[in-house]
Amino acid sequence: MQKSNVMKTKIHTVEEVKVQIIDTSLIVASVIGTLAYAVSLYRLFKFGFHISFVINFFIIASVVIITLLRSRLSVLLKTYVIIALIILLSLADAYNYGLFSVARIYLILIPFFSILYLPLKRSLVVFISTIVVFFLIGYLHHKEVLKFPDEYIPGLYMLEMYPWIIIVVHISAVAVIILFVIRKVIITYSALISDLELLVKDRTKNFEIANQELTLANRELFSQREELETALDSLQNAQKQLVQSEKMASLGILSSGIAHEINNPLNFIYGGMLALENYMDEHLKDHHEKMRPMIEGVREGAGRAAEIVQSLSRFSRQDDSSVTRCDIHTIIDNCLMILNNQVKYRVEIRKDYTNESYLLTGNEGKLHQAILNILINASQAIEEKGIISVSTQIKHQQLFIKISDTGCGVNPKDLPRITDPFFTTKDPGQGIGLGLSIAYNIVHDHSGTIEFESTLGKGTNVTIMLPVEKE
């Protein structure tokens, strides 16, 4: 909108310049033309009357009248009249005096005035047509079809001072008009260029401000996009953790049901062994000693099954709000019992438990899950044969649980990320990267800390610190 207003103002200024050029040219033509006509009267008194005096008087009178009425006439009408009078003056003078015509210099002004309001093609047509007529008049003089006035003697005429005065007046008129037109054009277009430069600077400044606003908006959108992506990742991670938690809860329910169902047959086995021993003591004393190893084997197998059931029962406790007194050594032994099938024949288990008494309170089921996840990682890190060492120690009312393995170790650049959800270095299908993340959160919920040390190719040490009280 601002640009449109500016351009309208500039067009109005150009129109004013055109009007000033026409009006000033009329004034100059009136003054100088009147002076030139007055000088030409000398020839009237010396050589007598000639038709050119009437033509010149008509032209000068028309110019003076139009000049006086210039404010009432349209600029287009004034332009047409000026062009017509210039053509009439130039051709009439050439008709009478041929190449000695002084007014022929006015032909130069035709393009100046015609181009103001006439299209370029029309201006060229007017100028070329005038030049053709002028050339035709010259040709007629050459063929002596047209002749000079009887009283006009070219040689004698050039010796007079009067022609020189006429030439000077005509040249001055043309020069003044041309200089004024050029000056007005330069001033006008210099102002236009200056205004356009200011407009360009203003637009450039507006574009820079708009660019800054767009840049800030883009940054804000990019920041919002990053926040949304972060929120989406968090939601996806939370969803996966919920799925994993649901799986663990289902596994706990399944383990609890299996343990309950196994307990019933175990009770029958224990009852059957007791009845068998009593029967042998009463009726088969001679065979008792021979049968004892077999009975003890059955008892040992039943006892082992009972320990597995007990471990499953402890692992299946998923009550988040349950806080009880916990025996960390029993928890570790139960976890090792569950992992026995994975580690037997290839992993040596070394245990070094503290003998100091302590009071540890927490959620036994969750502590089972945390220790089991760490032991699973240690077991999977050992490819062939190795050692898993578990030790406990009491220092400054802190229970230190250290689990070490002689497995493959962790790359130092990956060590800071091993507790991130879903980060794993295992092959696809061997883990989803939640084990250590869950263990870290469980330890943190028990106001504890967990630290990792690892050497690639040598093994990993995991140290858990839990607050305890001395009994």
Q: pLDDT (tens digit, 9 = 90+) per residue, 299-329? A: 666 776 766 666 556 555 555 556 788 889 9
The chain-wide mean pLDDT, for the chain, equals: 76
Identify whether the C-beta of residue 380 lies closer than 8 Å to the C-beta of residue 424.
no
Q: What's the CA gap between 366 and 362, in Å, rounded?
A: 8
Q: What's the CA gap between 74 and 84, in Å, rounded?
A: 16
Quote the Cα angle for 153-155-157, to 5°.
Answer: 60
Which amino acid belongs to residue 314?
Answer: R
Class of residue 353 by CB neighbours under 10 A (exposed 0-12, middle 13-18, buried 19+): middle
Neighbours of 371 (CB within 10 A): 25
pLDDT at 2 over 50: no
Q: Which two tokens stand for residue 55?
A: 């033509």
> Can you give the pTM of this predicted structure?
0.41
**Greater pLDDT, 207 or 304:** 207
Q: Residues near 66 by Cβ (< 8 Å), separated by ≥ 6?
A: 26, 73, 78, 81, 82
Q: What's the CA gap between 173 and 29, in Å, rounded?
A: 7
Tell me the backbone φ, ψ of residue 149, rounded to 5 degrees. -60, 150
Half-sphere exposure in the Cβ direction for 11 (13 Å, CA): 6
The H or E element containing residue 415 is none
Q: What's the CA gap between 439 and 445, in Å, rounded?
A: 10
Class of residue 200 by CB neighbours under 10 A (exposed 0-12, middle 13-18, buried 19+): exposed
pLDDT at 10 over 60: no
What is the band of 404 on the pLDDT scale with cuts at 50, 70, 90? very high
Residue 438: what pLDDT? 80
CATH topology of domain 321-467: Heat Shock Protein 90 (3.30.565)
Residue 261: what pLDDT? 65
Q: What's the CA gap between 124 and 128, in Å, rounded?
A: 6
pLDDT digits (tens, 9 = 90+) for 420-438: 766 666 654 455 556 787 8
Q: Residues near 232 by Cβ (< 8 Å), separated by ≥ 6?
A: none
Neighbours of 378 (CB within 10 A): 26
Identify whether the C-beta of residue 90 lies closer than 8 Å to the C-beta of residue 103.
yes
Q: What's the CA gap between 129 and 81, in Å, rounded?
A: 17
Task: State percent of the chain over pLDDT 70.
Answer: 68
pLDDT digits (tens, 9 = 90+) for 222-233: 888 888 888 887
Q: Which residues of 285-307 are buried (b: 16+ CB within 10 A; e: fewer)?
A: eeeeeeeeeeeeeeeeebeeebe
Looking at the chain, the domain(s) classified CATH 3.30.565.10 span 321-467
